[in-house]
Amino acid sequence: MRLSEVTERVSAATARVPRSVYAVGGLVIAIIFPLLNMAGWVETAWLRVGVISLLFVMLSLGLNIVMGETGLLNLGYIAFFAFGAYTTALLSSPKFELRWPFLVVVVLSALIAMVAGFVIGLPTLRLRGDYLAIVTLAFGEIVRLTITNLQDFTNGPNGITGIYSPRLVGEGALESLGSTGPAAWLVIDKPVEYYYLVLVCVAVTAVLISNLKNSRIGRAWNALREDELAAVSAGITASRAKLLSVVLSAGIAGFAGSLFAYYSNVISPESFLFMQSVIVVCMVVLGGMGSIPGVILGAIVLQALPQVIRQAAGAARSEFEVYRMLIFGIIIVVMVIFRPEGLLPDTLWRREAHEVDPREQEKTRQSLFDLEEGEKDLEV
């Protein structure tokens, strides 16, 4: 059997699995994972890998809205992450001696990132393709340089240290409940606690986005991506729909940034380099643009793979460290050669990436038609 046939069959098989199976299966694995650590089978470092992977899952889900759904390439996405992270750091650290409640800080961080998304989105969204990519790239750099230079606010390159751990309840309630037993979970300061906190946030985000994807707005985004002119003729207000997608994705990045600041205790401009934006773009592309399970898988694979390679080297680890990133790169190259549409592709994107046998194409067209018919019935 030729390699292409293998990959084709794998694609066909993955396409047949209902999406809900992925969702439930993924969630169960994610929930069980820390229990393995508590049982002593998995080391704590993997929990930290898990937290970072989940944060990047959020980022990829957010970027997927603009890139996968609306088809706007954003190369400065990490800037919104930075907005969220710095908002949190300023409101919950010894820098200004503030310790605002966790929920307020998280929501405010997301809102500020959304405002930033609105401000950058308004003038730039009339650009398309490469031009938009360049402007967003510049935006990312401007934000990073501003953070580096605004030393009175951000401590510049030294970063903000000693960010307080999130408290899920107020100080008074905390005192009366004590800090032992289940009450210890009210102050999030251990890797496993962060893990579950971020997992809940990721799950909520994923559900919201998948609902959005199947809503009127989601279809408007897809229509704009496929053919803007046709979409506008069909009555979609392009500027409003695009702006909404940019603002929403910025909000998710700000949310993730806030959690990142809490988790890492310290933030500095080094965490918001252009390279990080590129990695998030890679996660979306590798996982499968427009596909929520794909994007989640892409983020986990890209974040966890270097660690997996490290552990796979076993006793040879110390000698192996230098080659780790090289092998990581080779694996990505191989993946992109064989599955340009991503690991778990969206149906539409999959058809774009592959030349499909005409009979097969007819079948999918038919099934899509059936789908549309079915939905019409529902709407009526």
Partner 1 sequence: MVHERTRTFLALSLVIVLALGMFGVTGCAAETDGETDGETTGEVEIIKVGVQTALTGPLPDYGAAAKNGIELAVEDFGTFEMDGTTYQVELVVLDDKAEPAESAVVAQTMVDEGVVGVIGSLTTGATLSAIPIYAENRIPQISGSVTGPAANADGVDTFYRTCWNDAVQGEALAVWAMELGAEKVVLMDDNGAYAVGLADVAEDTLQAEGVETLRQNCQSGDKDFSAQVANVKEFGPDAIIFTGYHPEAGLMRKQMVEAGLGDVIFMGGDGIKSAELVAQTGGEANAEGIYATFGGFPEEQQPGYAAFSAKYEETYGEAVGPYAQNNYDAFGALIAAIKQAGSLDTEAIIEALQTVEYEGVTGTFSFATAADGPVARGDVVVAGLTPANVPRYVVEGGEFVSVK
Rounded Cα–Cα distance for residues 289 and 344 (Å): 9
Q: What's at 299, amino acid-wise?
A: A
Radius of gyration over every alpha carbon of the chain, rounded to an integer in angstroms: 22
Closer Cβ to partner 1, 39 or 322, answer by number: 322
Q: Is 32 in the site for partner 1 (CB under 8 A)?
A: no
Among 317, 352, 368, 371, binds partner 1 (CB under 8 A): 317
Among 320, 347, 348, 364, binds partner 1 (CB under 8 A): 320
Among 161, 210, 347, 364, binds partner 1 (CB under 8 A): 161
The terminus-to-terminus CA distance of the chain in angstroms comes to: 47
Contact positions with partner 1 (CB under 8 A) in 68-107: none
Closer Cβ to partner 1, 20 or 180, answer by number: 180
233, burial (CB in 10 Å: exposed 0-12, middle 13-18, buried 19+): exposed
Closer Cβ to partner 1, 234 or 312, answer by number: 312
Closer Cβ to partner 1, 2 or 16, answer by number: 2
Rounded Cα–Cα distance for residues 284 and 349 (Å): 12
Q: Is 258 in the site for partner 1 (CB under 8 A)?
A: no
Q: Is 44 in the site for partner 1 (CB under 8 A)?
A: yes
Phi then psi for residue 221, to 5 deg, are -60, -50
CB 287 within 8 A of CB 295: yes
Q: Is 367 in the site for partner 1 (CB under 8 A)?
A: no
Rounded Cα–Cα distance for residues 66 and 183 (Å): 40
CB 188 within 8 A of CB 258: no
Q: Is 327 in the site for partner 1 (CB under 8 A)?
A: yes
Contact positions with partner 1 (CB under 8 A) in 109-138: none
Closer Cβ to partner 1, 52 or 91, answer by number: 52
Q: Cα torsion for 64, 70, 75, 79, to the nearest 10°?
A: -70
Chain positions contacting partner 1, by CB under 8 A: 2-4, 43-45, 47-49, 52, 145, 148-149, 151, 155-159, 161-162, 191, 260, 264-268, 270-271, 307, 310, 313, 315-327, 330, 333-334, 337-338
